[in-house]
A and B are shown apart, each in its own frame.
Chain A
Amino acid sequence: QSALTQPASVSGSPGQSITISCTGTSSDIGGYNYLSWYQQHPGKAPKLLIYDVSNRPSGVSNRFSGSKSGNTASLTISGLQAEDEADYYCNSYSTNRILLFGGGTKLTVL
């Protein structure tokens, strides 16, 4: 049960776009479309941003978008804002009926 692989940190300036990758295997990301992304501000509970690879729940800004290619998923944030500074986690269903999280990516808005 290895965690999914995310970059430890990414950064961008206000207004720019950034992409966070999440790499797994054919047993998790590559095998299923149960891929979600979460945003977590310090001291707060996680918030669902994307479900089923590329769908946004009601109320989530369309600046957040998700995609997948093979064993790698991506979260793109466009028009970066100061409030986007947070930790981001990917999550995927895996064989043997478990869920795996990525190690998390700290986004810094410069």
Chain B
Amino acid sequence: EVQLLESGGGLVQPGGSLRLSCAASGGTFSNYAMNWVRQAPGKGLEWVSVINGGGDGTFYADSVKGRFTISRDDSKNTLYLQMNSLRGEDTALYYCARDFRRGSGWSPDGMDLWGQGTTVTVSS
């Protein structure tokens, strides 16, 4: 059974950077589109970004476009989120989530496998 484990969260000052990782264990996530979804304390879910199954297509929410970069290394079964120019409103629990359908593209049917999240706090 595939499990996802996020890491890399922590406390960072405004304007700083962090890189989150999401490692798959018990299997592979190759050829699945992978997402980052975040949840600010006491708030709802917010989709952040997706990378397609082939790794050659990336899409972002307007709130993070130009500041965050999603990438993947299928040889390491790991998904990444490089976060630059961090702001207070980026404070959240960040989840990685696998798309339901396998393929080299992105078919946004739903996200059926989620990690437990890693917490990012942006504060001075």
Q: Which of A56-110 contact B (CB under 8 A)?
A: 57, 87, 89, 91, 93, 97-104
* Residue pair B108, A99 in contact (C-beta under 8 Å): yes
Q: Pick the residue among B46, B63, B110, B117 that contacts A51 (CB under 8 A).
A: B110
* Residue pair B110, A48 in contact (C-beta under 8 Å): yes
Asked if A7 is at the interface (CB within 8 A of a chain B CB), the reply is no
Least CB distance, A30 to chain B, in whole angstroms:
16
Q: Pick the residue among B50, B61, B107, B115 that contacts A45 (CB under 8 A).
A: B115
Asked if B11 is at the interface (CB within 8 A of a chain A CB), the reply is no
Q: Pick the residue among A1, A45, A51, A101 that contacts B116 (CB under 8 A).
A: A45
* Residue pair A51, B109 in contact (C-beta under 8 Å): yes
Q: Which of B67-115 contact A (CB under 8 A)?
A: 95, 97, 100, 106-112, 114-115
Least CB distance, A45 to chain B, in whole angstroms:
4
* Tally of contacts, chain A with chain B, CB under 8 A: 68
Chain B residues with Cβ below 8 Å from A100 are: 47
Q: Pick the residue among A89, A99, A103 that contacts B50 (CB under 8 A).
A: A99
Least CB distance, A55 to chain B, in whole angstroms:
8
Q: Pick the residue among A40, A98, A104 that contacts B47 (CB under 8 A).
A: A98
* Residue pair B45, A38 in contact (C-beta under 8 Å): yes
* Residue pair A45, B114 in contact (C-beta under 8 Å): yes
In the complex, what distance in Å separates the CA atom of A48 from the CA atom of B44?
A: 15
Asked if A36 is at the interface (CB within 8 A of a chain B CB), the reply is yes
* Residue pair A45, B95 in contact (C-beta under 8 Å): yes
Chain B residues with Cβ below 8 Å from A3 are: 44
Asked if A50 is at the interface (CB within 8 A of a chain B CB), the reply is yes
- Which residues does A use to contact B, with CB under 8 Å? 1, 3, 34, 36, 38, 40, 45-48, 50-52, 57, 87, 89, 91, 93, 97-104
